[in-house]
């Protein structure tokens, strides 16, 4: 079993839809959670950063962490064609020896005009 599981998609939605992207994980020590957006043949861009459980909102984006279920989500409201990209979840325990983020394999999102 992978440490982080993410549905690869593709997920196709019409413009204006609410998008829900999700990841599950198995390591209960994870406490830092991130979402990256990656356009084709570009480097991933940090989109959202959350520590521990709870919600965080930034414009049209909301990140949710449910540590009891080991489940994180990214919601995109009023989705736009420019949101079409691959979304990667990433997480870390933040322990001293762990400088490494564990990434999901990414979900490809297509927003149709």
Partner 1 sequence: SQTIHQWPATLVQPVGSPLSLECTVEGTSNPNLYWYRQAAGRGLQLLFYSVGIGQISSEVPQNLSASRPQDRQFILSSKKLLLSDSGFYLCAWSPHTGKNNEKLFFGSGTQLSVL
Q: Which residue in the set 76, 90, 109, 111 belongs to the binding site for partner 1 (CB under 8 A)?
A: 90
**Rounded CA separation 72/33 (Å):** 8
One character per residue 39-68, x = contact with partner 1 (rule: CB under 8 A): --xxxxxx--x-------------------
**19, 21, 23, 34: residue in contact with partner 1 (rule CB under 8 A):** 34
Contact stretch for partner 1 (CB under 8 A) within 12-20, 21-29, 52-60, 91-99: 91-99
Query: Which residues, listed in sequence order, are joined to residue 46 by a DSSP beta bridge?
Result: 36
Concatenate the DSSP letters of all residues of 23-77 into one string. Answer: EEE--TT--EEEEEEE-TTS--EEEEEEESSEEEEETTEEEEEETTTTEEEEEES
Residues forming the site for partner 1 (CB under 8 A)? 6, 8, 32, 34, 36, 41-46, 49, 88, 90, 92, 94, 99-101, 103-106
């Amino acid at each position: 079993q992978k440490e982080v599981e993410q549905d690869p998609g593709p997920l196709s939605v019409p413009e204006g839809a609410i998008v829900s992207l999700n990841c599950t994980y198995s390591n209960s020590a994870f406490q830092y959670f991130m979402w990256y957006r990656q356009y084709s043949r570009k480097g991933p861009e940090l989109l959202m950063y959350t520590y521990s459980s709870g919600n965080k909102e930034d414009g049209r984006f909301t990140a949710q962490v449910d540590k009891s279920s080991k489940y994180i989500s990214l919601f995109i409201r009023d989705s736009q064609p420019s949101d079409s990209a691959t979304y990667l979840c990433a997480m870390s325990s933040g322990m001293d020896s762990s400088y490494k983020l564990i990434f999901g394999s990414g979900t490809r999102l297509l927003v149709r005009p």
